[in-house]
Structure 1
């Protein structure tokens, strides 16, 4: 059996992970910095090489981008399914703070609820309640 874990490259992994933890709940499980590698330039020693985060019961990995700027796009979205309307709306509202709502969270013709946004870090999210 295999498992897919989103790996998010960030300009500020600690801040971005903290934003998702605040919006969805969770905690940082582990952090390794580039300073653990001999010969790392001083300006990169405190940067995150690998961070494991539990966000709303799901595992995400983060790393600071030290080899160039992060480029966001529409090639991938994180979809989060909820059972309760209040939980879904709260997550949608918190994740959209400082970001851009692409599709308002609302009832859909297929019987569920759906909303799409790009957060302030450029990551795309789909928030869903199945019918």
Structure 2
């Protein structure tokens, strides 16, 4: 079995992002290592920054890091798409992700028979939430 796991970089804001996504997804942080925990000094890395972390919820795993010299890029061409099977959960998640960010496409019925919305969260990460009508 193969899987694709998004790895997001936050250039000094990873702990804040972890707390935000943990709240949004009711997720469990399964791993968190700081650069100061590495067995050797990593040049250019702030020792208090997150070297690697993971969280899991809804069968999704996200990896997050501050990176060594990562730069946040706004207007990037990556959007994370989540397909849900519960309209209420979709609405709750959409509301949580939009807090401090901005709604790009409000949740609404679509011509393809689903409820769909797009949001850019407070960290500049874009999310599409899709839920088929049952």
TM normalised by structure 2 equals 0.88
Structure-2 residue corresponding to 1:16: 17
Contact 1:21 1:56 in 2 (8 A): no
Q: In structure 2, how many angstroms separate the alpha carbons of the residues matched to 1:85 and 1:105?
A: 10
- Give the alignment of 1:6-85 within 5 angstroms: 6-11=6-11, 12-35=13-36, 36-40=38-42, 44-85=46-87
Task: Give the C-alpha shift of residue 43 in structure 1.
Answer: 7.1
Q: Unmatched 5+ residue regions in structure 2? A: none
Q: Unmatched 5+ residue regions in structure 1? A: none
The number of aligned residues is 131
Contact 1:20 1:55 in 2 (8 A): no
Q: In structure 1, how many angstroms separate the alpha carbons of the residues matched to 2:123 and 2:66?
A: 13
Give the CA RMSD over aligned residues: 1.8
Task: Give the C-alpha shift of residue 57 in structure 1.
Answer: 2.8
TM normalised by structure 1 equals 0.90
Structure-1 residue corresponding to 2:2: 2
